[in-house]
Structure 1
């Protein structure tokens, strides 16, 4: 009967859905409901406000549109043309520089140095033909003798010029001595350059390179020059020399002209004496160098066979002989 004591109309204890344990756990928990959840909590933004950079107080500047940097076709063509003109000017400048260097090299002698003799002005149309430097090219023990020979050559040139004036003075006083005046002009034009090339330059080269062939060439030519000095100092009439004989002859005709010719005769005599002294001095230096006639022959043969002119002539002769033999066959 106890089963009938319960109220049949009372709500069962388990019929309330909110009494379910899972529901009651959610309703009684500390977790915030979804409708009250704030995705931007207050505590993370507190530090952001302290680190916020203040707005710039600079005055407002309007935005400027930048123009396009791409060049136009006309500008590109103008730049290319300017570049070509600049390259052309550079090439012309380099070509002019090369021409100038080539001219400088051509004006230099075999030593590769610029010629300095004769010392002519730069504006002069004729350029120097030789390079000469005693202190650089001549050994110290030979410089004194080489300079004395050079001074002898200059002294000879001055004497030849004075000889021309003396013969001119004698020709003015006596018209029959016109031959002497004409020959004196010839001797000045002939002996002045030939003496430089034939005996001064060989001895300069001999001292410079210790060449046996140059020594022998100098001895042969300078011995002839000594003979010429002696003849000029004697003064044979009608030979164009104001020597002693011609000077005494002129003294009987005109004392002024005779006095001038007497001075020239003294100068010719000094040239003859100095030439003999210098010839002996050069011979002494030559003997100390150890040069010989065999060495001179060897140098001459080597110089001839290595000469381009000789090689060209020999090749031409051999070619002609070969062609002749082929035609005969």
Structure 2
């Protein structure tokens, strides 16, 4: 009668099919699979880090479209290029013409109607029996880049000449105070003034002038060779070794106890010699810097020397005479 006592209006108990004993035993050996939630911020168990959206996204590839120029645009560009090249050529031609005109002016100025230059140095009056021996014009013969250093070398030579003259006066004062010892110094000082003034002009000033004027490698090498010894001479003169004809520091200091006035005069001359040595070293370095920019070399110096020797008329005459004498001797023996 139990079936009649149950309430028909009450919901029957839900029967779970998975609670069956046979099904429960079958599912106990299977691992529990996590539910997958696509909206969860957690990553799956296969990845430890979360990749930002900004890193995952990439810019779409853009295909560069090539724009074909029209025939009119191409022709205009070609015409503009031709105009630019023409302007460059005209500029170069004007530059070459300017240089040629400057060279022509350098050649014409200071020349006579026959085309030969008139010497203007040393500047002597017209009635003087001795005429100028050299032609010198910094503005016309020396390029702008070398004009300043070339003038400085000329001023150094003038200062050198003044120093040698003052050396004569210093040795004269030394001779008046020590007539028995300073006679040799006074005589040699006169000799140094007469000898070294023109020799220095010819041996190291004119070569550097020619080197800057004609960009001559041989003149540069000759100047460096001679001027190196000139610097050594300046140092010896400033030292003032006794009986060498120089009013240097040794001779002037030795006169302090004997005659203070003569010692002061000799010290002034020694200071002039010292300034000469310092200026010579500075200018030698400056000339060497200019020389390195000119592109001169020892090979060019050898070529210039060989060409100068072969084109020299005196050398050609001597060589022809020697060849003639050798030929005549050979024929005479035969």
How high is the TM-score relative to the length of structure 1? 0.66
Alignment-derived partner of residue 137 in structure 1 = 141
Structure 2 alignment gaps of length 5 or more: 1-110
For 1:245 and 1:144, locate their aligned partners in 2 and report how far apart those are by CA, in whole Å. Answer: 36
Question: What are the Cα deviations for residues 256-294 of structure 1, in whole angstroms up to 9, with x where unaligned?
Answer: 111000000000000000000000000000000000000
Q: Secondary structure at the match of 2:247?
A: coil
Q: Say whether residues 1:161 and 2:165 are aligned partners.
A: yes
For 2:234 and 2:199, locate their aligned partners in 1 and report how far apart those are by CA, in whole Å. Answer: 14
1:116 is matched with which residue: 104, 120, 125?
120
1:187 is matched with which residue: 164, 189, 192?
192
1:229 is matched with which residue: 215, 229, 234?
234
Superposition deviation, residue 250 in structure 1:
1.8
Please give the residue correspondences for 1:1-329 in structure 2 after superposition, counting only pairs within 5 Å: 112-175=116-179, 176-329=181-334
Q: Secondary structure at the match of 2:256?
A: helix
Question: What are the Cα deviations for residues 194-244 of structure 1, in whole angstroms up to 9, with x where unaligned?
Answer: 000000000000000000000000000000000000000010111000111
For 1:195 and 1:153, locate their aligned partners in 2 and report how far apart those are by CA, in whole Å. Answer: 7
Q: Which has the larger radius of gyration?
A: 1
Structure 1 residues 161, 111: CA separation in 2 closer, same or farther (over 3 Å shift)? farther
For 2:244 and 2:282, locate their aligned partners in 1 and report how far apart those are by CA, in whole Å. Answer: 26
Superposition deviation, residue 111 in structure 1:
7.5
Question: What are the Cα deviations for residues 88-116 of structure 1, in whole angstroms up to 9, with x where unaligned?
Answer: xxxxxxxxxxxxxxxxxxx98x9822111
For 1:251 and 1:190, locate their aligned partners in 2 and report how far apart those are by CA, in whole Å. Answer: 30
Q: Secondary structure at the match of 2:132?
A: coil
Structure 1 alignment gaps of length 5 or more: 1-106
Structure 1 vs Structure 2 CA RMSD: 1.4
For 1:238 and 1:131, locate their aligned partners in 2 and report how far apart those are by CA, in whole Å. Answer: 38
Superposition deviation, residue 165 in structure 1:
0.5
What is the number of residues matched between the two proteins?
Answer: 222
Question: What are the Cα deviations for residues 274-321 of structure 1, in whole angstroms up to 9, with x where unaligned?
Answer: 000000000000000000000000000000011111111111111111
How high is the TM-score relative to the length of structure 2? 0.65
Q: Secondary structure at the match of 2:257?
A: helix
Superposition deviation, residue 252 in structure 1:
2.2
For 2:291 and 2:153, locate their aligned partners in 1 and report how far apart those are by CA, in whole Å. Answer: 15
Q: Secondary structure at the match of 1:135?
A: helix
Superposition deviation, residue 177 in structure 1:
1.0
Q: Secondary structure at the match of 2:255?
A: helix
Structure 1 residues 111, 170: CA separation in 2 closer, same or farther (over 3 Å shift)? farther
Question: What are the Cα deviations for residues 149-171 of structure 1, in whole angstroms up to 9, with x where unaligned?
Answer: 00000001000000000100110
Structure 1 residues 111, 171: CA separation in 2 closer, same or farther (over 3 Å shift)? farther
For 2:172 and 2:115, locate their aligned partners in 1 and report how far apart those are by CA, in whole Å. Answer: 43
For 1:250 and 1:184, locate their aligned partners in 2 and report how far apart those are by CA, in whole Å. Answer: 18
For 2:219 and 2:274, locate their aligned partners in 1 and report how far apart those are by CA, in whole Å. Answer: 27
